[in-house]
Every structure is written in structure tokens, then in C-alpha cells.
Amino acid sequence: MKPGLAWITGGSSGIGRAIAVRLIADGWRVAATARSVEALAEFAASPEARGQVFAYAADATDRQAMVDTAAKIEAERGPVDLLVCSAGPYVAFGLADWSADKMMNLMKLNVGGVANALEAVLPRFLARDKGHIAIVSSLTQYRGMGRTVAYGASKSALRTIAESLRLLARGTGIKVQIIVPGY
């Protein structure tokens, strides 16, 4: 794919930031979204950003904020060519510290945040008959791994979402991938 504009959720740290740095090295411009205004500003000002990271603070769990952010990015920077859904922390817990709240909050961010970002870009990609979606998952998507009960469940859901989207996108100019980093 020819370099263009990538929108990365969870783009200020971790895997999202690493993907941004790699894309910049390959000639891409990056609109990075995260909840932390400070972390985004630090990344955008860092030498590794090379002046090609543009900060857009938003909470991926806020559907309207994601729709508004996509519109703002495209108004200020041009069409998004690549969406990388990377927002989503690792939260571990076991039987003794089981928490339905922790489980639901993780699902809201890891699954709901992806759904919100997709809702923000899919109409744009369909209208242009092109676009690239990359969803960051985990090896925990394949099987239960102890204290990863909530995290693994959320990543399994992302795998199903990506596989289904790939099938739905057949015949369009939209490419869908899942990224499965190792430990």
C-alpha cells in the first residue's frame, strides 16, 4: 500500500506507538488518538515522530467522540487510508480478585473501542471504495491463559470481528487484517 494517512487508536504508547514509528519510517503521516492529551503531545513532539504525528485526544469508548475525531482528522489532514485499532490495555486478574467491573470495562475498551472506530471510518471507506483496517489482537485470542480471562475474551472477539469484516469486505476496496503480536 502506498503511504498515506494512518489513524491509530491507542497511538501514544505501546504497540500503537511502535506501529506509528514504523509507519512514519515508511513515509506515512499518523493521526494518533489516545485519552491522554499529555502522552499524545509528548509523542508528537518527540524526535521519533519526525513531525508526522498529529495528536487527536479522544476516548475510544465514546462512540460520538470517535465519529467526531474521524471527521476532524479528515477535515484537517485528508482522507484516512489506514485505521489501526490498537487501544486496549492488558488487565490480568484471577479467581481471588475476580471482578465483573474489570471484565466489562476491558470489553468496553478492547471490543467497544474497535467497534466505535470502525463505525467512524467504514462509511468513509465504503464511499471511497478503499481503505485498510488493522486490528491489534493477541496470542490470547486462541486459548485461555490463566489470568488473561477478560483480556483473552476481548481479543477473541476482535479475531471474530476481523474475520467477519474480511468476508463482508470482499468485492470492495477495503482490506482487513488482524495483528497478533507475541510476548
Give backbone dihedrals phi and psi of 118, rounded to 5 degrees, phi first: -65, -45
90, 142, 151, 183: which one is catalytic? 151
Return d(Cα 34, Cα 16) in angstroms, integer: 10
- Give the Cβ contact number of residue 145 at 10 Å: 13
165: cell is 469484516
Contact (CB, 8 A) for 9 and 65:
no
Contact (CB, 8 A) for 30 and 24:
yes
H or E element at residue 176: strand 174-179
Q: Is 90 a catalytic residue?
A: no
Give backbone dihedrals phi and psi of 26, rounded to 5 degrees, phi first: -90, 5
Give the active site residues: 151
